Structure 1
Amino acid sequence: MAGYADDLALAHVLADSADTISMARFRALDLRVESKPDLTPVSDADTAVEKAIRATLARARPRDGVLGEEFGRSAAAAGPGSRYWVIDPIDGTKNFVRGVPIWATLIALMEGDTPVVGLVSAPALGRRWWAGRGLGAFAGKNQHSATRINVSSVRRMTDASFCYASLNGWAEIGRLDQMMDILLGVWRSRAYGDFYGYMLLAEGALDAMAEPELSLWDMAALIPIVTEAGGRITDLDGRPTADKSSVIGTNGLLHESVLTALARRS
């Protein structure tokens, strides 16, 4: 466990550097924004943050691999049992470029296919969330001002606060009717999107979150935080999430109900 504590401390150092860079570019009048081949936006802040994190990891963890949204996978970030860091320099780039403060840097450490450390830093919100396997989940302004967090104890869908993203995405995978039935049947529904819904789940502020498709860098940091807070994350079939998979996060108590509600209909 001590090794994960050291890695978690390094993740905070990486996040401190990332926050300095990203906040300096947030709402900057000269922010440069381009479109990637998939037509999603990328700003000069995205690339600068990832470069800075990679440079620090090259010095501090030269044997570890790196997988980042903007610059791909290093040779060391492959193979069973490999240790590698997964970086989303700015999750919520569309918010970032429009001046909406709900965006974050996501940092995870993987051992093989398993995320063992996760950190989410949202400097425009003045908040950070983190966890290491066996170490619990915490939130606060920084690691020196932290509170342990836990998921809710809500057991019934009719009492649940449910978070979702991209109704268009659910339509694309043929589950829009199922999602609409959930939204009409729960106590409350909101679409916070990106990392934020999962962090509210980990804090117990809402009870379930679902998205139709995410990449590994979108979800790797979220998994340790939600699970160490007592929650559960799987794909639509109840399996561990993988790259480009659907994601369901719950307080655990509601998980089977959400899986059943979102199941494909014959």
Structure 2
Amino acid sequence: MTVLMTAAIPSDQDLLALALRLCRETADIINVIRARGFVTQKKYDQSPVTEADQEAERHILSALRAAVPGIPAIGEEEIAAGIKIAPGAQYWLVDPLDGTREFAAGRDDFTVNIGLVRGDRAVLGAMALPAYGQFYAGGEGLGAKRFDADGEHDIRARHVPPEGLTILASRHHGDAPELARFLEGRPVASLGNIGSAVKFVRVAEGAADFYPRLGPTMEWDTAAPQAIVEAAGGCVLEFDGSPLRYGKPEWRNPNFVCTGLPDNTHPDKRISPAGT
């Protein structure tokens, strides 16, 4: 299926506002389903899926396609169902419920991710953390913000503090020896394990410094959070030090690291995949 350019494309600010609004609406849908209960099923790859994933994606994709028909919208659950959408020069990547394992287990670390890719780069992103009542948005030239019960806040990744790195690693995919190699020679203040793309926004808002991803992810997992992290001054890097890019075969990402601002003790350096 190819989506034709039938209408003028809004500004990036308008596109980001649209994505943020849909994140808010989708968070409400997910929270309602969570409160009344749901059944967890298995997809073809044995990963979990729930009614919340499916209802959230239907809402997001239908709204994106109605609002901006000139921009293809690609969702995780449609791809899993064998529905293929041609991406075009720019396109939305949607993960309607990132962290389904966390959601199904009754934990709070799950997100809604709506990202815009242009060429091979994630340029705009909006996210919801429904259980926390937090919403994030960011993009090139637009900065990064968090919205919560206290209002709107500019966010910025931080320099590594003198006491050392605050590290967030995956709850379900990790490699302790490889992580130890990354961190060799660096002071570590704390190391925690949580699920989903929550780890990205904790780096973006300066609550953490380093998120190493040593397991499988797909492009819809990372597009929105990468745009937010980069708008906040951080980086998402492949192991060769180059930025994570988009349009890869079968939408699969390589391993990567998400980092904040450079180490204050090494102001010309970020925390790289090699740990230097």
Q: Give TM-score scaled by structure 1 length.
A: 0.86
CA 1:53–1:106: 2 relative to 1, 3 Å: same
Letter in structure 2 aligned against 1:247: F
2:76 corresponds, among 51, 69, 81, to 69
CA distance in 1, matches of 2:272, 2:65: 41
Q: Which residue number in structure 2 is paired with residue 203 of structure 1?
A: 205
CA distance in 1, matches of 2:230, 2:201: 11
Q: Which residue number in structure 1 is paired with residue 191 of structure 2?
A: 189
Kept after mapping to 2: 8 A contact 1:122/1:128:
yes
Give 1:185 deviation, angstroms. Answer: 4.8
CA distance in 1, matches of 2:233, 2:260: 7
Q: Give TM-score scaled by structure 2 length.
A: 0.83
CA distance in 1, matches of 2:275, 2:219: 25
Kept after mapping to 2: 8 A contact 1:34/1:41:
yes
How do residues 206-221 of structure 1 correspond to structure 2 at under 5 angstroms? 206-212=208-214, 213-221=216-224
Give 1:167 deviation, angstroms. Answer: 7.2
Q: Which residue number in structure 1 is paired with residue 170 of structure 2?
A: 165
How do residues 48-197 of structure 1 correspond to structure 2 at under 5 angstroms? 48-72=55-79, 74-78=84-88, 82-141=89-148, 145-154=151-160, 159-166=164-171, 169-170=174-175, 176-181=176-181, 182=183, 185-197=187-199
Letter in structure 2 aligned against 1:238: G
Once the two structures are superposed, what CA deviation does each residue of 1:194-230 show, in whole Å capped at 9, x if it has no partner?
2111111111111111111321011000111111111
Pairs aligned (count): 250
SS in 1 for 2:41: strand
How do residues 227-242 of structure 1 correspond to structure 2 at under 5 angstroms? 227-242=230-245
Are residue 260 (structure 1) and residue 274 (structure 2) matched?
yes
CA 1:132–1:167: 2 relative to 1, 3 Å: closer
Once the two structures are superposed, what CA deviation does each residue of 1:149-200 show, in whole Å capped at 9, x if it has no partner?
01112266x6111111157543xxxxx4231353895121111232111111
Q: Which residue number in structure 2 is paired with residue 225 of structure 1?
A: 228
1:13 corresponds, among 13, 21, 45, to 21
Q: Which residue number in structure 2 is paired with residue 173 of structure 1?
A: none
CA distance in 1, matches of 2:190, 2:137: 27
Kept after mapping to 1: 8 A contact 2:259/2:271:
no
Give 1:95 deviation, angstroms. Answer: 1.1
Kept after mapping to 2: 8 A contact 1:66/1:74:
no
Letter in structure 1 aligned against 2:229: V
CA 1:239–1:34: 2 relative to 1, 3 Å: same
Kept after mapping to 2: 8 A contact 1:90/1:105:
yes
Letter in structure 2 aligned against 1:89: P
1:246 corresponds, among 236, 250, 255, to 255
Kept after mapping to 1: 8 A contact 2:16/2:138:
yes
Kept after mapping to 1: 8 A contact 2:74/2:93:
yes
Kept after mapping to 1: 8 A contact 2:241/2:272:
no
Once the two structures are superposed, what CA deviation does each residue of 1:29-76 show, in whole Å capped at 9, x if it has no partner?
3x1211011111000110111111111112111111111111026534
Unaligned runs of 5+ residues in structure 1 are 171-175
Unaligned runs of 5+ residues in structure 2 are 1-9, 246-251, 264-268
2:44 corresponds, among 13, 37, 40, to 37
Letter in structure 2 aligned against 1:261: G
Give 1:119 deviation, angstroms. Answer: 0.8
Once the two structures are superposed, what CA deviation does each residue of 1:215-250 show, in whole Å capped at 9, x if it has no partner?
101100011111111111111111222432112111
CA distance in 2, matches of 1:99, 1:164: 19
CA RMSD of aligned residues (A): 2.3
Which of the pair is proportionally richer in helix?
A: 1
SS in 2 for 1:248: strand
Letter in structure 2 aligned against 1:52: H
